[in-house]
Amino acid sequence: MINAIHQPQTILVLGGTSDIARAIVRELESPALQQVILACRRPSEADLGGFGDHSSVVAVEFDATDFENHTQFIDGVASKYGDLDIVIQAFGQLGTEARDDPASAARLASVNYGGAVSSGLAVAECLKKQGHGTLIVLSSVAGIRTRPSNFIYGSSKAGQDAFATGLGHALHGTGVNVMTVRPGFVRSSMTTGLDEAPFSVDPEDVAVAVAKGLQRGSDVVWVPGLLRMVFGLLRYAPGFVWRKLDS
């Protein structure tokens, strides 16, 4: 259980290879943290290093599209490792080539949105039974207004974002919190080789913002914070302006 100064004992990462999620775990490390569970498709290839000495780190098998077994998976993790204080939903695909391949586009949507819905509901039910816990959903500013050059990915993040914020409202009063994190371009293994966008950040920047958001009890966190104002304007920009910005 999270102690009086917001230090978790157990963290589950859905998408255990995510650079951002791993940075968040490192930022939240303290003597109180006892268990980190990295859930990913190939646990034998997961890097269990890079964390502090206070906690035990394990990798377990998880498939974002195995919808039928998400509830069983989450309940099984909680049964084995105890109450889940923080669950980070960090899996996803960028799929810049998906716009030219309908099947690939559908698979990307299945992972980024379908997986988010299925696993998110399973996590929510588990945390409700506990009476406490926080689900951190790694969304993206790409979902606030979809770019022509990557609208498949953007549309899937838009769905994930709407789901996460809606779920947070639905859980109000249960003791369970949902934090939706909206970073801009993050320099990570997922974006290696891509041109950086304005206001680019590192995984560690996202981690610091998330930790501050947890302290404040924030429902939504923008990284960097300036993007809240930027997209507050860009979402209403005329279409020809938006297309020009993406060219």
What are the residue numbers of the active site?
153
Q: What separation in angstroms does the CA of 167 have from each of 16, 102, 124, 176?
A: 22, 29, 8, 10
Cross-strand pairs, 177: 134
DSSP-based three-state secondary structure for 52: coil
Buried b (16+ CB within 10 A) or exposed e, 46-79: beeeebeeebebbbbebbbeebeebbebbeebbe
**Secondary structure letter of residue 89 according to DSSP:** E
Strand order in the sheet with 133-138: 56-61, 35-40, 10-14, 86-89, 133-138, 176-183, 220-223
Sign, CA dihedral 120-125-126-132, equals positive
Distance between the two ends of the chain, CA-based, in angstroms? Answer: 48
